[in-house]
Chain A
Amino acid sequence: LSHSSGTGPLAQWVLVELQGEVEPRQSGDLAGSLLGDLHYTCEGVPVLIVGHHILYGKVVQLEKPFAVLVKQGGAPQPSPVGPHSHYTVTALIKTKLLFKTRPKPIITHVPKKV
């Protein structure tokens, strides 16, 4: 695993952790599709709006950071004496946004009691 650009600091990414699965609304794969909007309250609480749901989360500094590995080359298996499939460390992740609360549906209109 080597540093991708070789020089300069490693990129810092952020992990977003969601409960459950993420599925595209329409059929087809996820590439290109929108997940949602990320906001923060003035107190720094992350709020994610996905479709009709609001997810509240918290910012967590990871005790054990992650490295993001991207596989290079197409070789399926390394040969015994020879180059191994090469993974590049593309980024480090030291922070995550953890969304654990159940999604709250966004109610746009509260009907008045009759």
Chain B
Amino acid sequence: KLNPAELLPAAQCLSFGPRARGECCLLQLEPGLCAELEAGRSLVIRGEKDEHAVLCSKDKTYDMKIADTSNMLLFVPGCRTPEELNADPGSCDIIHSQIAGFSKNYWELRRCRPKLKKLRKLLMEDPYEGPDSQKDQTSTFSKYTTEDLLSLIQASEEEILHQLQVIDACKIEGYWRILDFDYEMKLLNHVTQLIDSESWPLSKVPLCACLEELGSLEPREMIEHILLSYGRKYVDDAGEVFFEMREDKICRAIAQMLLQNAVKFNLSEFEEVWQQSVPEGMTTRLDQLQGLALVDKSSRPETIFLLKVEDLPEDNQERFNSLFGIRQKWTEVDITPYIQDLCAEKQTVGALLTKYARSSMLNGVKVYNSRRPIS
């Protein structure tokens, strides 16, 4: 029984609008996204036919999933809440409101890692081999501008731009390019040779002098790019630009150059050659090679081989399958560089190992192996 005296005077008549179904859908917003929309910023849905759609804000990426409810959700513009009616005493008795649309489901968002492996893959289609290379003069079909990347990569703009910096990509004639490794080493070698012949301290390499001395050999942009990639830029009190060369990164690159020539190396021989190959004043250490190379301590003699984390699958389960295919049992120390990038916000390597691996003891050391039999 309903007592009219208990009701507010206004009544809202709800009817279905003409375009009630179809292209309308609901998106549940994670914290922060509502404020972004209200501030006038856009969100973008990205994904090609074979990819699961993701939603990107300016700096974050979210997986999209349909959530079904057993209930009917009607969206009503202009529907008044009790507070609004109470605040507006002059509101008329009968208000006609149209239901703009309805749905039994909505899109749910879950923050995820940006899907950036594709970025490297695209840029590796046509690495830059230098101005003398014949390739560049011909096609532009596998070259990508920032806009191209934004429409192809399932990540936010900020995440994409950050990753471009991480992989030392550079813009050449408006297109993002990755350097061909041999060309990159050639450039690095020019610089390290010059540092040696000029006896500059590794922490104070002058930009101007480099450009002057090397400008006849390579484009100035490339010289500056290699200094930026392998050094830390700073300006001294007199306003001159210098670079503090990054020892770890240089040693690592030279190791890659050596290791890519064979399936594996005798560890002690490699360590000797490696130390001799790096610039004067730099010291090689195996921990510089995390995520790049793996040492096999079980073989006699001990060996080392190239294993680049960026060549491994992006999906968590596939990554673990791949790692356990390479080696059955891993210590936490060895496997960490190869799964670190899988960690979601606030997730630890330990949590990943608990989820995707099984632990056991081997000779007093804790090791991890696959949860499932590897075919």
Contacts and interface: CB of A to CB of B under 8 A. Distances in A.
B42 A18 contact: no
Interface in B127-157: 148, 151-152
Interface string B36-60: 0110101111101100000100000
A1 B42 contact: yes
Interface of B: 1-2, 6-8, 11-21, 23-31, 33-34, 37-38, 40, 42-46, 48-49, 55, 69-79, 81-83, 85, 97, 99-102, 106, 148, 151-152
Contacts of B19: 31
19 contacts: A1-B42, A15-B74, A15-B75, A17-B69, A17-B74, A19-B70, A35-B14, A36-B14, A39-B8, A48-B14, A59-B81, A64-B28, A65-B28, A68-B25, A68-B27, A70-B23, A81-B151, A81-B152, A82-B151
Given A44-B83, A78-B48, A39 B29 contact: no
A64 to B, nearest CB: 5
B27 A3 contact: no
A28 to B, nearest CB: 11
B81 A68 contact: no
Interface of A: 1-3, 6-7, 9-11, 13-22, 29-42, 44, 46-48, 54, 59, 64-71, 77-78, 80-82, 84, 87, 89-95, 97, 106-107
A80 B129 CA distance: 27
Nearest to A91: B77
A45 to B, nearest CB: 8
B48 A66 contact: no
B29 A3 contact: no
B51 to A, nearest CB: 10
B18 A3 contact: no
B56 to A, nearest CB: 10
B152 to A, nearest CB: 6
Given A15-B74, A41-B8, 6 more contacts: A15-B26, A15-B76, A41-B7, A47-B7, A66-B28, A84-B46
Contacts of A31: 16-20
A40 B8 contact: yes
Contact of A32 (B6, B16, B26, B27): B16
B82 A40 contact: yes
Contacts of A21: 72
B16 A33 contact: yes
Contacts of A20: 70-72
A81 B79 contact: no
B127 to A, nearest CB: 20
B149 to A, nearest CB: 10
Nearest to B27: A67
A15 B7 CA distance: 21
Given A38-B14, A82-B151, A66 B26 contact: yes
A11 B78 CA distance: 9
A82 B19 CA distance: 28
B76 A13 contact: yes
Contacts of B72: 17-22
A15 B73 contact: yes
B4 to A, nearest CB: 9
A16 B69 CA distance: 13
Contacts of B16: 30-35
Contact of A81 (B12, B31, B77, B148): B148
Contact of A41 (B6, B42, B73): B6
